[in-house]
């Protein structure tokens, strides 16, 4: 059946290409393509990949058989889209250097990406998504903002607890600002008795032997519509340490989490005769995704990492 809102290839290309470098959702919860909106993935018990089998076999005997016993989890991607519009007067008065429809798609895609960033931050920084023993709420002298805190030992000890050692550190901006200037971290990274300064993400990654250090810096308006804006950090005062598989997929790969994605981002346009005096062009862009925790045992969370 023909869609009443035909897909526009040029606008779709703009929507697909759009990226905000400050957003980290795609790096923390990488996209996993699925063929249908309804998808499934396997969750395995913590000992599935660590049982040591008896591999010996007699000259004519049958080798022992192993099976990966897990639970199949079924879910569905969710459509996320927004509409916008450009009055015909704006289109008629634009020159060749300005694409009003393309700009409208980018502005809409920015808001869709912002909403996704919040969903990702809420998923990763929520303590309920981590099992007991793989999360800690810091307080008093243990918080990294306290002069007596020992972040190197605290983080090192926690890195050894998940079944898969985390290879990615995800900081909220305020936590990162505190950690990168902490005297113990500065001394360990810079040496020579340095007690003040700032270290880089790469230096912290090397210090803790992880592949990636990410910092969530995006802000969102937490005020209700009609009230004065209240901009707050989407990624709060937490530090999540995650294991991310090199190539996450929906089958037998252990990884903390991912974003299941059905199809590509799309963008469509149609004439809206009720827009202004001359009418206009309405546009819609969106994507069908679902952020999920896949392996809870492959991560560790520090809540209230700073005061």
Between the two ends of the chain, the Cα-to-Cα distance in Å is 56
Out of 35-44, 50-59, 138-147, 243-252, which region has the weakest mean confidence (pLDDT)? 243-252
How large is the average pLDDT for residues 151-160? 99
Tell me how far apart the alpha carbons of residues 10 and 172 are, in angstroms, rounded to a whole number: 36
Can you give the pLDDT at residue 2?
Answer: 42
As a dihedral over the C-alpha atoms of residue 157, residue 174, residue 111, residue 291, rounded to 10 degrees, the angle is 10
pLDDT band at 21 (very low <50, low <70, confident <90, very high): low
Contacts 24+ apart (CB under 8 A), 218-221: 218/22, 218/23, 218/24, 218/114, 218/117, 218/121, 220/114, 220/117, 220/118
The predicted structure's pLDDT at residue 158? 99
**Confidence bin at 150 (pLDDT 50/70/90):** very high
> Can you point out the beta strands (E) in 131-279?
135-137, 168-172, 212-216, 219-221, 231-233, 239-242, 257-272
Q: How far apart are CA 277 and CA 42, in angstroms?
A: 55
Integer Cα distance of 164 and 167 in angstroms: 9
Summarize pLDDT for 59-91 with one digit per residue, the tens: 999 999 887 777 889 999 999 999 999 999 888
Mean pLDDT of 123-127: 99
Mean pLDDT for the stretch of residues 97-109: 88
Which is it for strands 135-137 and 299-303: parallel, antiparallel or unpaired?
parallel
Q: Any residues with CB less than 8 A from the CB of 76 and at least 6 apart, and which?
A: 37, 38, 39, 290
Angle at which helix 183-190 crosses helix 151-159, to 10 degrees, equals 80
Domains of the chain: residue spans and CATH: 9-46+72-303 (3.90.1690.10)
Distance CA(123)–CA(221), nearest Å, equals 18
Provide the pLDDT for residue 225.
Answer: 84
Mean pLDDT over residues 120-133, rounded? 98
More confidently predicted of 254 and 139: 139
> Given this model, what pLDDT does residue 203 score?
98
The pLDDT assigned to 20 comes to 67
3-state SS, residue 71: strand
Residue 300: pLDDT over 90: yes
Separation in Å, CA 251 to CA 129, 247, 281: 21, 11, 42
Residue range 133-153: mean pLDDT, rounded: 98
Q: Which of 69, 70, 105, 68 is nearest to 84 (CA)?
A: 105
- The more confident residue out of 136 and 66 is 136
| Residues across the chain | 307
Q: Quick one: pLDDT at residue 11?
A: 75
Model confidence pLDDT, tens digit, residues 243-288: 999 987 756 678 999 999 999 999 999 999 999 899 999 999 999 9
Q: Where are the alpha helices (DSSP H) in 53-210?
A: 88-92, 100-124, 151-159, 173-180, 183-190, 201-207
Residue bearing tokens 């800690």: 136
pTM: 0.88
18 or 249, greater pLDDT: 249
Segment (H or E) for 12:
helix 9-17
pLDDT at residue 245, as a whole number? 93
Q: Give the confidence band of 164 by pLDDT, cuts at 50, 70, 90.
A: very high
On average, the pLDDT of the chain sits at 91
Distance CA 232, CA 114 (A): 13
Measured distance CA(242)–CA(239) in Å, rounded: 10
How far apart CA 162 and CA 131 sit, in angstroms, is: 10
């Amino acid at each position: 059946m023909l869609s009443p809102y035909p897909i526009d290839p040029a606008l779709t290309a703009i929507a697909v290409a759009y990226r905000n470098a400050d957003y980290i959702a795609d790096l923390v919860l990488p996209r996993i393509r699925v063929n249908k909106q309804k998808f499934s993935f396997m969750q395995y018990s913590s000992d599935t990949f660590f049982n040591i089998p008896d591999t010996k076999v007699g000259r004519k005997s049958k080798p022992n058989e192993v099976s990966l016993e897990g639970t199949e989890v079924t879910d569905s991607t969710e459509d996320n889209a927004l509409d916008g519009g450009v009055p015909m007067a704006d289109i008629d008065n634009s020159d060749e250097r300005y694409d009003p429809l393309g700009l409208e798609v980018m502005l809409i895609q920015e808001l869709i990406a912002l909403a996704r960033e919040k969903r990702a931050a809420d998923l990763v920084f929520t303590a309920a998504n981590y099992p007991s023993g793989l999360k800690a709420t810091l307080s008093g002298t243990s918080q990294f903002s306290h002069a007596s805190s020992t972040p190197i030992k605290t983080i090192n000890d926690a890195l050894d607890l998940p079944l898969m050692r985390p290879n990615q550190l995800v900081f909220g901006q305020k936590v990162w600002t505190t950690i990168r200037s902490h005297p113990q971290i500065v001394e360990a990274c810079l040496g020579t008795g340095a007690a003040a300064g700032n270290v880089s993400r790469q230096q912290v990654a090397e210090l803790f032997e992880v592949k990636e250090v990410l910092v969530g810096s995006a802000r969102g308006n937490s005020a209700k519509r009609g009230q004065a804006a209240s901009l707050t950090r989407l990624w709060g005062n937490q530090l999540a340490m995650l294991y991310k598989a090199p190539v996450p997929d929906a089958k037998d790969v252990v990884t903390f989490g991912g974003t299941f994605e059905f199809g590509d981002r799309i963008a469509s346009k149609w004439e809206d005769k009720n827009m202004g005096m001359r009418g206009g062009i309405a546009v819609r862009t969106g994507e069908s995704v679902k952020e999920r925790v896949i392996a809870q045992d492959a991560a560790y969370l520090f809540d209230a990492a700073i005061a």
